[in-house]
Amino acid sequence: MLTRELCQRARMARDPRFDGRFFILVRSTGIFCRPVCKVRAPLEKNVDYAFSAIEAMNKGYRPCLRCRPDSSPYSYAWQGVKTTAQRAAKMLVEAPHQSIDKISERLGISARYLHKLMLAHFDIPPKKYRVFHQVLMAKRLLHYSNMSVEQVAHGVGFNSARQLQNHIKSVTGLTPLQIRQSKRVPMQTPQQDNMIIVHLQYQGPYDWPALRDFFAKRLIQGNEKISEHAFTKTFSINGDAVEVTMRYMPKQSYFELDYSHEYVHHCAQIISMASRILDISANPSVIAPALELCGLQSAQIRPGLRIPGICSRFEAGVRAILGQQVSVTAAISQVNKLHAALSPSAHEFVSPHTLSQSDLACIKLPETRKNALRSFAKLMHEDPNADFEKWLAIKGIGPWTVNYVNLRATDNPDVWLDTDLVIRQRLKALAEAGQAIDADKCAPWRSYLTFSLWNLEL
């Protein structure tokens, strides 16, 4: 229960835990704010409290332009400047071939401000931040891939092997070859058939059978292949169709990735996409205790549980929309029909543009949902990185769909699908059996709680 006193203290402290739970109505100005708003705190005698933005607006207040209490909790606007800096950092790492000017343009801010933001939040200018990551990635590739030094240099976004030499030497004091010689895991496989091989190490245990079966049940024929120890998928990266195989190597505790050498320049993207699909960076030794803390019994926790990822938000959105209100089997059969009819090459997943133009005669679906699918594809075509607020503006895309995509296609480990029907049933059944679950206690790992509950057999 949020009492007035609690609200007052929360807003004075700008406590982020209360963000979204109530709003501050400032009577003297007719403006309403979030508890975290950075503006000078109004006097208590001038404020009222409301518990939703709708309520506030209905009372005649207009949203503050600083904290944007009207925007949805998913949007960048809601999350403020900190996420701009985080997005910038992410883009600098993931698009190493793109100029820094271009990055600031994509963020909608000036190059100068980007520089300032990076200094403020990471204490390092963008250029330096990027080079640092390029060196780390290069080091990793030297250790864990069979790429030549030349390939590594171009792969991480340097224009020449010489550049790699300079930067790597200034950071580590070693030359690329010295780094390669000190590699911990010997690479038995030399480059053959022009395939690049990269090892992705994970921290065990790893429940590969669960992941494999999950993917097998939702396979897109042609785009994906599954075998006992491997998952193969064709990624769409900047117009290229890159077939990547991820092979489970339990003895060595890594996945072995392979893909054609002609896509060296995509290696950062490929590694990041595969890492997401495999949820490679999950740390079970931290997650399992968190799950126990919130009330799960150890028998209900699968050791090595991972979130089966989807490497593109577009694909995740398509799967989610076609999955609304139908069974998994029905949903995937629709996805497959769509893929068979509209895929450009049988391997590559449909492009947003093609989908937005299609009459969708290939699938049986209510007209309203077809419209939703097309509008969504149009949005992804025009603005691939559109934030979730824009998704929600589409008729037919609601909080469930967005949350589901957030769970499977972003690296947010804290997506709690408390509105999901199955989750509610599970919670109810557990409660009746005398087992209470306090989801907040396993933050920031609530994605794993969501999956654990889905997996529960009752």
Partner DNA sequence: GAATTCCCCTG
Partner DNA sequence: CAGGTGATATTG
Cα-Cα-Cα-Cα torsion 246, 383, 380, 398, nearest 10 degrees, comes to 110
Residue 20 beta carbon to DNA: minimum distance, rounded to whole angstroms: 17
Judged by beta carbon, residue 13 or residue 177, the one nearer DNA is 13
Residue 286 beta carbon to DNA: minimum distance, rounded to whole angstroms: 31
Residue 165: CB atoms within 10 Å: 16
Residue 5 beta carbon to DNA: minimum distance, rounded to whole angstroms: 18
Judged by beta carbon, residue 117 or residue 278, the one nearer DNA is 117
Judged by beta carbon, residue 23 or residue 445, the one nearer DNA is 23
State the number of binding residues for DNA (CB under 7 A).
25
Judged by beta carbon, residue 85 or residue 242, the one nearer DNA is 85
| Cα–Cα dist 369/177, whole Å | 55
Q: Is 4 in the site for DNA (CB under 7 A)?
A: no
Q: Could you tell me if 114 and 141 are in contact, meaning their C-beta atoms sit under 8 angstroms apart?
A: no
- 350 token code pair: 């449909």
Q: Could you tell me if 390 and 379 are in contact, meaning their C-beta atoms sit under 8 angstroms apart?
A: yes
Q: Is 84 in the site for DNA (CB under 7 A)?
A: yes
Residue 96 beta carbon to DNA: minimum distance, rounded to whole angstroms: 23
Site for DNA in 412-441 (CB under 7 A): none
Judged by beta carbon, residue 80 or residue 399, the one nearer DNA is 80
- For strands 31-33 and 23-26, give the pairing: antiparallel
| Cα–Cα dist 446/293, whole Å | 12
Residue 156: CB atoms within 10 Å: 29
Instruction: Give the per-residue contact string, 105-144, with DNA (x = CB under 7 A; - = no).
Output: ---xxx-xx--x----------------------------
Judged by beta carbon, residue 6 or residue 81, the one nearer DNA is 81
Judged by beta carbon, residue 29 or residue 221, the one nearer DNA is 29
Judged by beta carbon, residue 114 or residue 363, the one nearer DNA is 114
Residue 412 beta carbon to DNA: minimum distance, rounded to whole angstroms: 22
* Segment interacting with DNA, rule: CB under 7 A, options 77-85, 310-318, 340-348, 430-438: 77-85
Judged by beta carbon, residue 24 or residue 268, the one nearer DNA is 24
Residue 76 beta carbon to DNA: minimum distance, rounded to whole angstroms: 10
Residue 197 beta carbon to DNA: minimum distance, rounded to whole angstroms: 42
φ, ψ (nearest 5 deg) of residue 167:
-65, -45
| Cα–Cα dist 138/303, whole Å | 32
Residue 178 beta carbon to DNA: minimum distance, rounded to whole angstroms: 42
Judged by beta carbon, residue 104 or residue 343, the one nearer DNA is 104
Choose, by CB under 7 A, the member of 31, 50, 118, 430 that binds DNA: 31
Q: Could you tell me if 308 and 215 are in contact, meaning their C-beta atoms sit under 8 angstroms apart?
A: yes
Instruction: Give the per-residue contact string, 34-73, with DNA (x = CB under 7 A; - = no).
Output: ---xxxx-xx--x-----------------xxx-------
| Cα–Cα dist 168/162, whole Å | 10
- Pick the closest to residue 191 from 241, 258, 254, 269 (CA basis): 258
φ, ψ (nearest 5 deg) of residue 145:
-130, 170
Measured between its terminal Cα atoms, the distance across the chain in Å is 32
Q: Is 390 in the site for DNA (CB under 7 A)?
A: no
Residue 94 beta carbon to DNA: minimum distance, rounded to whole angstroms: 21
- 190 token code pair: 């030399």
Residue 22 beta carbon to DNA: minimum distance, rounded to whole angstroms: 14
Q: Which residue spans within 52-181 are E strands per DSSP?
A: 62-63
Choose, by CB under 7 A, the member of 6, 21, 48, 81 that binds DNA: 81
Site for DNA in 212-241 (CB under 7 A): none
Cα-Cα-Cα-Cα torsion 260, 262, 264, 265, nearest 10 degrees, comes to -140
| Cα–Cα dist 358/353, whole Å | 9
Judged by beta carbon, residue 81 or residue 237, the one nearer DNA is 81
| Cα–Cα dist 136/144, whole Å | 12
Radius of gyration (Cα) for the chain, nearest Å? 24
Return the HEC string of 176-232. HHHHHHCCCCCCCCCCCCCEEEEEEECCCCCCHHHHHHHHHHCCCECCEEECCCEEE
Give the footprint of DNA on this chain (CB under 7 A): 24, 26, 28-29, 31, 33, 37-40, 42-43, 46, 64-66, 80-81, 84, 108-110, 112-113, 116
